[in-house]
Amino acid sequence: KPVEAPSRRPLQMALDTDENLDDKAVVAHINKLTGMKGCALMFGDGLSLAGSLPPEYGTEGLCAMAPTIMQRIEKHMVETKLGTLRGMTLSCEKGSVTFFMHANLCLAALHTGGELAQEVQEKLARVVHELSKKYSNPV
């Protein structure tokens, strides 16, 4: 009979690791993804949870207001035929920041160049979705 591998939680599957994942470990795994310069996790009210954004970029204020912007955009997405909002990218002269949000959790991903690779975007969206379950209020 084959030996069964220990079952991974969905967040571990999203990051392809058997490691126990606290918020800081999630940030460390995200930073290893192709093209990443740093990231931050914050709640819907902008309160920071964990992060590793380089201080020289001064992104604190932007990250604090991003969840509110994402929530406002999401309300208007239902009027469009574009489907569900997956992320919002701000393309800037010295880098780009893509925000992913699910429920009450937002992830800011600072990256090099323009767009993040599709597979990296999907992984980040999955990570924020799974991690948000940890912080959402049970109904």
Q: What is the pLDDT of residues 43-62, one digit of tens each?
A: 999 899 999 999 999 999 99
3-class DSSP state of 75:
helix
Q: What is the pLDDT of residues 19-31, one digit of tens each?
A: 999 999 999 999 9
Q: Helix, strand, coil proportions of the chain in percent (round to 5)?
A: 40, 25, 40
Give phi and psi for 95, each to the nearest 5.
150, 175
For residue 137, count other CB atoms closer than 10 A to its CB: 6
What gap in Å lies between CA 103 and CA 121, rounded to an integer?
17
61 touches 82 (CB < 8 A): no
